[in-house]
Structure 1
Amino acid sequence: MTTTNPLLQFFLKTRKHTEDICSPLEIEDYVVQPIEDVSPPKWHLGHTTWFFEEFILKQHLGNYKLFDEDFSFVFNSYYEAVGKRVIRSNRGNLSRPSVQKVYEYRNYVTKEIEKLITKTNTLEINSLLEIGIHHEKQHQELLLTDIKFILGNNPLLPSYSNIIKEHETQDYQQEWLKVNEGVYEIGHNNSSFCYDNELGRHKVYLTNYEIANKLVTNKEFIEFITANGYKLHDFWHAEGWDWVNKNKITTPLYWHNIDGKWYHYTLNGLQEINLNSPVTHISYFEAFAYAQYKKLRLPTEFEWEIAQGKFSWGDRWEWTESAYLPYPGYAKVDGALGEYNGKFMVNQKVLRGGSIATPTQHTRPTYRNFFQTNLRWQYTGLRLAK
């Protein structure tokens, strides 16, 4: 269907991109779930489709007929208000519905959304559609990193494709960028799309600080490893030190030392590490420990936001020293969509920026990503401050 509606075009382009991400996969890849945090590609395809069905079509398209009565149970993620669901760790047990059936579901819901938007064009529906589009973009990033984890834990370390190049090189000199003490404004401040956790623009006071113009590189992180960084407790939080020892962590995720050379698994298969590329796939614990090793620190999310116009970002999600908390005046929206962000504002750290897996039109200086301190299957890195 040809349309001149920009939002509908955005929707259709987003839906196609998700399927493009899956196009290099073998059918056997679609259902694998090595750990609880990683969802099978088939589940992502279904869940992003269910989101549009549950929050738009069921509510706003008269006489809408569900594609399958069981799919809300199968593809609901964490929305308590919507009803029962398959527990997260069991998503890999869903050999049925088939991949073909899930693609039929996607096609069905996409066409029904087209039908609705063509007939009815209200602010409420457009707002929900925009949230749904960006929700799917979030899952595109997760889908890529989940695919990498699935294939990176296959003993053959197979290549996914050449869609993404992971070897960005920061070919410029290290500098410390100075920011003067003062009161600054934080948060989203224009009419473009943002999530509710970016709202509540407010003032913060910052003391004088400096922030690096470059991300920490693989070469620098290897120096940390060589200096016994993973073996010296002084660099680590108590919880981080327990995590290192319990899980026998000695390197970033996907790293392999083969005959004295450093390699890592990438979406292009096993490759020798580019020393000048930013280090990636590290936990907050590792980022903090490295900063301690350098006698420096991580920036807060507010320091990052105020300084971000002075440096390049977007290759790696950057750990900050900030806990994921609500801004002043934050209020969840009513209904199930109120569960989108607010319920996770505990025991997590904020990441800023974006990564090579982040789709286009999906990040901005005020975007607040968040993960638990031990997680590292995303493209996470670090920038130092002092």
Structure 2
Amino acid sequence: MGIGQREDLLHAFQRVRRRSLEIAAPLSAEDCCAQSMPDASPIKWHLAHTTWFFETFILEAHEAGFAPFHPAFRVLFNSYYNGIGAKHPRPQRGLLTRPSLDEVRAYRADVDGRIARLLAIGAPIQGLVELGLQHEQQHQELMLTDLKHLLGCNPLYPAYTVQAMERGAPPPELSWIAFEGGLAEIGYGGSGFCFDNELPRHRTYLAPFELASRLVTNGEYREFVEAGGYRDPALWLAEGWDRVCAGEITHPLYRVAGEEGWQEFTLHGLQLLDPARPVTHVSLYEADAYARWRGARLPTESEWEFAARQAQLGAGALHPEAADGEGLLQMFGACWQWTASSYAPYPGYAPAAGAIGEYNGKFMVNQYVLRGSSCATPEGHARPSYRNFFPAGARWQFTGIRLAR
């Protein structure tokens, strides 16, 4: 790697690290410490854990005379890397009132300076730095989704941003785009960065299928609710129906009944539910039930990726209205889209050696794949092969619905 390339990576490193602090900037120290549920983490923990990643996987292995910023941080901010050692219990991250937010910021500054020095001398850390940056960008999306859940638990419904939220444009009429199927190449095939779960690229057979030209909207999903969709057991997977009967699922997350009708809690605070916007914060159970109600289904992840690649090659040839930014071009950006595919390894998949190999592979059980990206996804994570994954009941992420048949 030449000096110019090192400087490019250093610039990227500084930009990504700065972005995390920018996300946290409007928040109080109290905002940054609280944890709303076991699946969400405090903002302060995100800021520290992403720093822990660089310290543990890069500085510890490559810095001469390495000494940790604070020995206790090795345990406090380890997420799930059993190969590293002990971890603070995930549900108790919100109890970490110490270290303070200021000390976490000092931790970040210290590690940033040390990583910059290693890059300046040409230490062989480029691949790990890139992985660390991609990892931090994943956490930047989690920071926003976890923060939204935290603020949504507050009866004051405080807004994260004072910027006005624009109403959605009327969606184009939903149409069905036909794909002939056949043998398809699935998985990452480029020369840049990808996560190991996007590999290896492989062939799979797709039967002919059709994909909806856009996402399901709030207005369309409201029809499902008003038609009794949450009262019809024939529409629901068994585990989802159990949650409906238990009162855990009655409508998408962040819906609030108001005097003027349904409202939705957003990062902009409470807003009147916009029927034109894609429905978000639904579980796989809800997405699947809605699809059944519409006489459709959810796409498989291979179908979704095949369609996304076709859209990249020339969406206008697939859908006449695509040129105006709608239609099939809406594969990315609004919300993650549930698929019917369980999160499993591709044929020939092999995780990396050592603790870094725990990044993806060990989660390939009891999860479903989501494709696309959301309004909270950082630049660089929207590619056809990217595999997001969550349990079927997860709703606090920006998750939505695209139909297939």
The TM-score with structure 2 as length reference comes to 0.92
RMSD: 1.5
- Please give the residue correspondences for 1:166-181 in structure 2 after superposition, counting only pairs within 5 Å: 168-169=168-169, 171-181=171-181
Q: Which moved more, 1:263-272 or 1:359-368?
A: 359-368
Map Cα deviations across residues 201-259 of structure 1 (whole Å, 9 max, x no partner). 11111111110111000000100110111111111000110122224321100001213
* Letter aligned with residue 286 of structure 1: E
- Please give the residue correspondences for 1:1-386 in structure 2 after superposition, counting only pairs within 5 Å: 5-122=7-124, 125-162=125-162, 165=165, 168-169=168-169, 171-259=171-259, 261-308=261-308, 309=311, 310=315, 311=328, 312=330, 313-386=332-405
Distance between the aligned counterparts of 2:143 and 2:172, measured in 1? Answer: 32
Deviation at 1:260, TM superposition (A): 5.7
CA 79–327 in structure 1, closer or farther in 2 if over 3 Å, else same? same
Segments of 5+ residues of structure 1 without an aligned counterpart are: none
Deviation at 1:170, TM superposition (A): 5.8
Runs of 4+ in 1 over 3 A off after TM superposition: 162-171
* Letter aligned with residue 324 of structure 1: Y
Deviation at 1:314, TM superposition (A): 2.0
Percentage of matched positions with identical amino acids: 49
Is the CA contact 1:158–1:269 (under 8 Å) kept in the aligned structure 2? yes
The TM-score with structure 1 as length reference comes to 0.96
Distance between the aligned counterparts of 1:152 and 1:166, measured in 2? Answer: 20
Give SS of 1:5's match.
helix
Is the CA contact 2:188–2:385 (under 8 Å) kept in the aligned structure 1? yes
Distance between the aligned counterparts of 1:224 and 1:288, measured in 2? Answer: 12
Deviation at 1:166, TM superposition (A): 7.7
Deviation at 1:362, TM superposition (A): 2.1
Distance between the aligned counterparts of 1:373 and 1:40, measured in 2? Answer: 23
Distance between the aligned counterparts of 2:169 and 2:378, measured in 1? Answer: 20
Segments of 5+ residues of structure 2 without an aligned counterpart are: 316-327
Deviation at 1:4, TM superposition (A): 6.7
Is the CA contact 1:170–1:214 (under 8 Å) kept in the aligned structure 2? no
Deviation at 1:26, TM superposition (A): 1.4
Distance between the aligned counterparts of 1:179 and 1:3, measured in 2? Answer: 41
CA 152–325 in structure 1, closer or farther in 2 if over 3 Å, else same? same
* Letter aligned with residue 338 of structure 2: W
CA 163–64 in structure 1, closer or farther in 2 if over 3 Å, else same? farther
Deviation at 1:169, TM superposition (A): 3.8
Is the CA contact 2:6–2:120 (under 8 Å) kept in the aligned structure 1? no
Distance between the aligned counterparts of 1:164 and 1:282, measured in 2? Answer: 24
Distance between the aligned counterparts of 1:168 and 1:103, measured in 2? Answer: 37
Is the CA contact 1:3–1:9 (under 8 Å) kept in the aligned structure 2? no
Give SS of 1:298's match.
coil
Is the CA contact 1:319–1:380 (under 8 Å) kept in the aligned structure 2? yes
Count residues with an aligned counterpart.
383
Give SS of 2:229's match.
coil
* Letter aligned with residue 338 of structure 1: G
Distance between the aligned counterparts of 2:137 and 2:304, measured in 1? Answer: 23
* Letter aligned with residue 47 of structure 1: H
* Letter aligned with residue 306 of structure 1: F
